[in-house]
């Protein structure tokens, strides 16, 4: 016998889109059921944002300790090199993941959300069945929020396996490979490839496009490219990965340059990081008769699909495929279902790369603003002139903050930064754009000394033509 659940709102997927939507629905007094096929937290908490940042942290700690071996640095000296145990690091990372996973379960419980564990399979737009661990469940809902997220894309000629990892497997390894070939120099490939390089792998990147991290403009990428050069990490641009070749001399990735020339790159493991695609298959989406937008589910500015009372959020509905966008959409949809007037119309959604050094982009770059025909002023301030950065050994990487504003009324259009720790500045950048800040608002806000945030008013002052420390 199947259990039958009738609910106001059915949320499918417990990632940062789905679980936030469900919590908010519960808070608003809606009877809410969330179905999750895997673990609460989704890609982000279980195999994405959090575990990758935990491993990047470990890699950075290890590399920092290496500086102290021998002659030492900062007055700290280690007589012998520290040992790195990737298994131990992964075990620690899992404790962080478990803690957050448990935290999401507790928050859902507090909001009185019923969680059903298993894969939801739809028979029509408002009805699904779940083979849960506690037996079969039939769910009928007034509203359905689709938050099934995304799955890794791949290269058919380079199938995943023991020696060919996706980002998921890259975060579960217990031994650092001697040589790692990374296919894809987008943010996931770069973040994980750089982390492995810091853990001791000899890393090579292969990228089909003519540059790395295409979201960011060339001046911002310079410090990242310098980091790669200093470590003699090769990046093969305009190069296609063809296949993994096994021979008596070992394993190699066969690649083809734009010229047509083919080369074998010796490697022990391959990380394929060529993007993600929306999770639209295997759960009856086709039974729901929603209109698609290419591979994504089509939604309007309230995340409504073409089917009445069926909503879709997060990676399933398109770029940017980022956790904070998914959560913002989830919270909004819950409020609309509860009768509030909301729409999804952010001024900007910050994008961050946790590379070496880190990158932040919010709003328009100078080139993008010019392409729109806007007359702009630009101000830039280096971390090398910021006391706190120097005091944290963070000013030496060529990093800077750059503010782009309209020339006529000084409305801030974009804020970008590159440098160690700049991810932590992204919130202030986004807030400035969302609040419609002018250059004078940034320069007139008293920022704490000594902090890295002082670079923002300095960059604004530079745009106004009178930086104090520049």
Cα distance between residue 27 and residue 13, in whole Å: 18
Task: Give the residue with the Cβ less far from ligand FAD, 147 or 337.
Answer: 147
Q: Tell me the closest approach of the beta carbon of residue 26 to ligand FAD, in angstroms.
A: 17
Is residue 167 near ligand FAD by the rule CB under 6 A? yes
* Chosen residue from 62, 84, 165, 283 binding ligand FAD by CB under 6 A: 283
Is residue 16 near ligand FAD by the rule CB under 6 A? yes
CA angle 382, 396, 424 (to 5 degrees): 65
Is residue 361 near ligand FAD by the rule CB under 6 A? no
Crossing angle for the helix pair 323-337 and 18-27, to the nearest 10 degrees: 30
Q: Which of residues 52-71 bind ligand FAD (CB under 6 A)?
A: 52
In the beta sheet, which residues pair with residue 202? 179
Total residues at interface with ligand FAD (CB under 6 A): 35
* Chosen residue from 5, 9, 11, 12 binding ligand FAD by CB under 6 A: 12
Here the tokens at position 443 are 């320069």
Task: Give the residue with the Cβ less far from ligand FAD, 38 or 440.
Answer: 38
Q: Tell me the closest approach of the beta carbon of residue 195 to ligand FAD, in angstroms.
A: 11
Task: Give the residue with the Cβ less far from ligand FAD, 205 or 381.
Answer: 205
Q: What is residue 424's DSSP assignment?
A: G
Task: Give the residue with the Cβ less far from ligand FAD, 48 or 419.
Answer: 48
Q: What is residue 160's DSSP assignment?
A: -
Task: Give the residue with the Cβ less far from ligand FAD, 315 or 458.
Answer: 315
Mode of pairing for the β-strands spanning 292-293 and 135-146 = unpaired
In angstroms, the Cα distances linking 219 to 3, 226, 366, 382 are 59, 11, 11, 12
* Chosen residue from 27, 148, 173, 386 binding ligand FAD by CB under 6 A: 148
Here the tokens at position 142 are 């007034």
Q: Which stretch binds ligand FAD (CB under 6 A): 31-39, 78-86, 213-221, 358-366?
A: 31-39
> Which of 9, 15, 10, 38 has the alpha carbon at shortest distance from 278?
15
Mode of pairing for the β-strands spanning 400-406 and 412-419 = antiparallel
Active-site annotation, residues: 449
* Chosen residue from 11, 17, 195, 288 binding ligand FAD by CB under 6 A: 17
Phi-psi region of 328 (alpha: psi -120 to 50; beta: other; left: phi over 0): alpha
Q: Tell me the closest approach of the beta carbon of residue 336 to ligand FAD, in angstroms.
A: 17
90 — phi, psi (to 5°)? Answer: -65, -40
Q: Which residues bind ligand FAD (CB under 6 A)?
A: 12-18, 35-38, 42-44, 48-49, 52, 119-120, 147-150, 167, 188, 279, 283, 314-316, 321-324, 326
């Amino acid at each position: 016998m199947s259990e039958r659940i009738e609910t106001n709102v059915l949320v499918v997927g417990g990632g940062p889109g789905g679980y936030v939507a469900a919590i908010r629905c519960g808070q608003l007094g809606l009877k809410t059921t969330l179905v999750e096929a895997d673990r609460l937290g989704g890609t982000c908490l279980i195999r994405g944002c959090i575990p990758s940042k935990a491993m990047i942290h470990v890699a950075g700690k290890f590399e920092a300790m290496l500086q102290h071996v021998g002659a030492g640095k900062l007055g700290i000296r280690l007589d012998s090199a520290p040992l790195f145990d990737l298994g131990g690091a992964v075990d620690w990372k899992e404790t962080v993941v478990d803690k957050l996973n448990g935290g999401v379960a507790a928050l859902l419980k507090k909001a009185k959300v019923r969680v059903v564990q298993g894969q939801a399979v739809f028979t029509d737009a408002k009805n699904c069945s779940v083979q849960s661990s506690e037996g079969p469940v039939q769910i009928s809902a007034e509203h359905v929020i689709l938050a099934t997220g995304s799955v890794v894309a791949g290269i058919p000629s380079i199938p995943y396996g023991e020696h060919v990892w996706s980002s998921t497997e890259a975060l579960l390894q217990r031994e650092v490979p001697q040589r790692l070939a990374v296919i894809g120099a987008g943010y996931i490939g770069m973040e994980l490839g750089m982390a492995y390089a810091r853990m001791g792998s000899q890393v090579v990147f292969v990228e089909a496009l003519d540059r790395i991290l295409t979201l960011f403009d060339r001046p911002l990428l310079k410090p990242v490219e310098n980091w790669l050069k200093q470590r003699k990490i090769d990046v093969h641009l305009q190069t296609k990965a063809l296949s993994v070749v096994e021979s008596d001399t070992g394993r190699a990735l066969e690649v083809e340059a734009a010229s047509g020339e083919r080369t074998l790159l010796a490697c022990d493991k391959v990380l394929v990081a060529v993007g993600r695609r929306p999770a639209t298959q295997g759960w009856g989406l086709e039974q729901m008769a929603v209109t698609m937008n290419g591979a994504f589910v089509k939604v309007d500015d309230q995340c409504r699909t073409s089917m009445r009372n069926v909503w879709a959020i997060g990676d399933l509905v398109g770029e940017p495929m980022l956790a904070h966008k998914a959560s913002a959409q989830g919270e909004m949809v819950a409020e609309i279902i509860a009768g509030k007037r909301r729409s999804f119309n952010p001024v900007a959604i910050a994008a961050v790369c946790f590379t070496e050094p880190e990158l932040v982009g919010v709003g328009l770059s100078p080139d993008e603003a010019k392409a729109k025909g806007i007359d702009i002023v630009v101000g830039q301030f280096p971390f090398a002139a910021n006391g706190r950065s120097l005091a944290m050994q963070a000013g030496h990487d060529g990093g800077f903050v750059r503010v782009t504003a309209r020339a006529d009324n000084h409305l801030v259009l974009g804020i970008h930064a590159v440098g160690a720790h700049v991810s932590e500045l992204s919130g202030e950048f986004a807030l400035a754009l969302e609040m419609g800040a002018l250059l004078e608002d940034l320069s007139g806000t008293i920022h704490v000394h000594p902090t890295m945030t002082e670079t923002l008013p300095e960059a604004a002052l530079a745009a106004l033509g009178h930086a104090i420390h520049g």
